[in-house]
Amino acid sequence: MSKRGDNLSNKNKRGSRRAATERSASGKSKKSSSKKKTTLKREGAPSPFWKWTKRFAVFGGVAALLGTVFLAFAVGFAARELPSFFQLKASQAGQTILVRARDGSEIVEIGPSFGEWLEFQDIPENMRNAMVAVEDKRFYSHYGVDPIRTTGAVVEGFTGARSRVGGTSTITQQLARNLFLSSNRTFDRKAREAILAMALEWKFSKEQILELYLNKVYFGGGAYGVDSASRKFFSHPGKTLSVAEASIIAGLVKAPSRYSPTADVQAAVDRAAVVLRLMKEQEYITSDQASVDVDAVQLKQQAGQNSVRYFTDYVLPQLDIILPETNAPLEVWTTLDVGMQRAATAAVASNSPDGAQGALVSLDRDGAILALVGGTDYVESNFNRATDAMRQPGSSWKLFVYLAALEAGYTPEDKVVDTPVTIDGWSPRNSNGRNVGETSLRTSFAFS
């Protein structure tokens, strides 16, 4: 009994150990399986990069949707507030500015010149095509803003291909700016310009927009609209413009003063050639029409203008800085002395050799301009050499140096020393390459 009981007890113990071993193995197996599942689950999980990419995509999509809704509301509201087509036709662009001298006398009156309003069908087709070709080749396909042109300009700005982002305005944007805005280059103004352009496209047809534009755009010399420009430059109505004449007028919009045929015939001809090339590339004209001789165009003879226009060209742009936006007539009082301006004009004319230009500026002690002449003939060349020419001042600065010395208490007999000097790596020299050492202010000035 005792032995049999011991055997049973041993069997039970061995059975218990086997069961425990099996349970242990089963537990390990389950744990191992659990680890594998966990490992597999971790391997299939998305990386943080894709998580953030997805979030940015969702946020970007929502932002784009909200932006589109906001833009649609803004454009719709602007379109509802726009004047009617007939009201815009009746409104005049530009303003009259009366410029006076320091004694109150009238110097010049500058104001807009309007010709006959030309209906869309009365504007020569070549004139319409020339303007579209040079200013906005996708005019008939965009909705006020040209995304291709805008994107290209932004890319060029970021890549450094151009020094600034510009040249992105469509014809509709230009019309919006001319009708409702100033020419300030600010982001806020460009945004309003874009919204107003889309509103114009929403409310008016392409034909109406082009009709408004061609009758209101500024072509220089006070001429607003195609008919006024045609009469000013070619002495005939705008309805009879030739291909060559249309190319000259279309080329003026970019820079009316620079490409004016009355100021620089060659510049106007060169610009017209660009317009004709673009018209040919866009298949508005044939190769024969593109090779037209714009030199043969008969320009209207212009009477000579007083040199005071150099002064007004310099002064009037400063009104944008000191005055708020306004289309009201202005009366501008200046510091110009009429007698001194007349003497300055005569001095430049008498001291400029044939074919050469000259310039003169006379300032009061407080810096006020008393006389300013930028060339010998404003009609021949309206380039202002007094304010825009980049030339070495030469010995003219010596007058200011000696004047400053006298005002500081020096006398003509005081001694100064002429020795070599170097300023930030720059070493000025006398024309003869020598230095005279100690000398009097009087002698130094005499030999300057």
Q: In the numeric block, which tokens belong to residue 352?
A: 């400029």
Q: In the numeric block, which tokens belong to residue 108?
A: 């010049």
Last residue of a domain, one of 296, 317, 333: 296
Specify if 109 maps to a domain: no
Last residue of a domain, one of 296, 322, 344: 296
Specify if 80 maps to a domain: no
Q: Please write the tens of the pLDDT for every residue from 358-416.
A: 999 999 989 999 999 999 988 788 889 999 888 777 778 888 889 999 999 999 999 99
Measured CA to CA, the distance from residue 398 to residue 447 in angstroms comes to: 11
Angle, in degrees to the nearest 10, between helices 206-216 and 171-180: 60
Q: Same domain for 147 and 289? A: yes
CATH number, domain of 177, equals 1.10.3810.10
Last residue of a domain, one of 260, 277, 296: 296
Measured CA to CA, the distance from residue 399 to residue 402 in angstroms comes to: 5
Out of 135, 193, 201, 245, pick the active-site residue: 135
Q: Same domain for 266 and 130? A: yes
Q: Same domain for 132 and 253? A: yes
Q: Same domain for 147 and 275? A: yes
- What domain count does the chain have? 2
Identify which of 71-75, 104-108, 180-184 has the greatest average pLDDT: 104-108
Q: Choose the weakest-confidence range: 101-115, 121-135, 224-238, 353-367.
A: 101-115
pTM of the model: 0.56
Q: Same domain for 406 and 272? A: no
pLDDT of residue 14: 54
Q: Please write the tens of the pLDDT for every residue from 20-70.
A: 555 554 554 444 444 444 444 455 566 777 777 777 777 777 777 766 776
Q: Choose the weakest-confidence range: 48-52, 329-333, 444-448.
A: 48-52
Mean pLDDT of the chain: 81
Bridge pairing between strands 106-110 and 113-114: unpaired
Measured CA to CA, the distance from residue 149 to residue 394 in angstroms comes to: 45
Strand partners, 113: 223
What is the pLDDT confidence band of residue 305, given thresholds at 50, 70 and 90? low
pLDDT of residue 372: 96
Specify if 216 maps to a domain: yes
Q: Same domain for 150 and 281? A: yes
- Residue 47 known to be catalytic: no
Q: Same domain for 140 and 256? A: yes
Beta strands per DSSP E along 303-424: 330-333, 360-363, 369-373, 415-418
Specify if 234 maps to a domain: yes
Specify if 70 maps to a domain: no
Cα distances from 295 to residues 273, 382, 414, in angstroms, run 10, 20, 63
The domain in which residue 407 lies consists of: 396-446
User: Regarding predicted confidence, which is higher, 122 or 393?
Assistant: 122
**H helix intervals, 160-239:** 171-180, 187-203, 206-216, 226-234
pLDDT of residue 163: 43
Specify if 24 maps to a domain: no
Cα distances from 266 to residues 131, 250, 260, 262, 380, in angstroms, run 20, 15, 10, 10, 12
| Longest Cα–Cα distance in the chain | 152
Q: Choose the weakest-confidence range: 168-182, 296-310, 388-402.
A: 296-310
Q: Same domain for 292 and 429? A: no
Specify if 291 maps to a domain: yes
Specify if 435 maps to a domain: yes
What is the pLDDT confidence band of residue 436, given thresholds at 50, 70 and 90? confident
- Residue 193 known to be catalytic: no
Q: Same domain for 406 and 262? A: no
Rg of the chain in Å (alpha carbons): 39
Strand partners, 361: 372
Out of 24, 395, 396, 438, pick the active-site residue: 395
Identify which of 1-15, 80-94, 241-255 has the greatest average pLDDT: 241-255
Q: Same domain for 415 and 291? A: no
Q: Same domain for 403 and 276? A: no
Beta strands per DSSP E along 22-105: 97-100
What is the pLDDT confidence band of residue 139, given thresholds at 50, 70 and 90? very high
Q: Same domain for 290 and 420? A: no
Residue 127 has pLDDT above 90, yes or no: yes
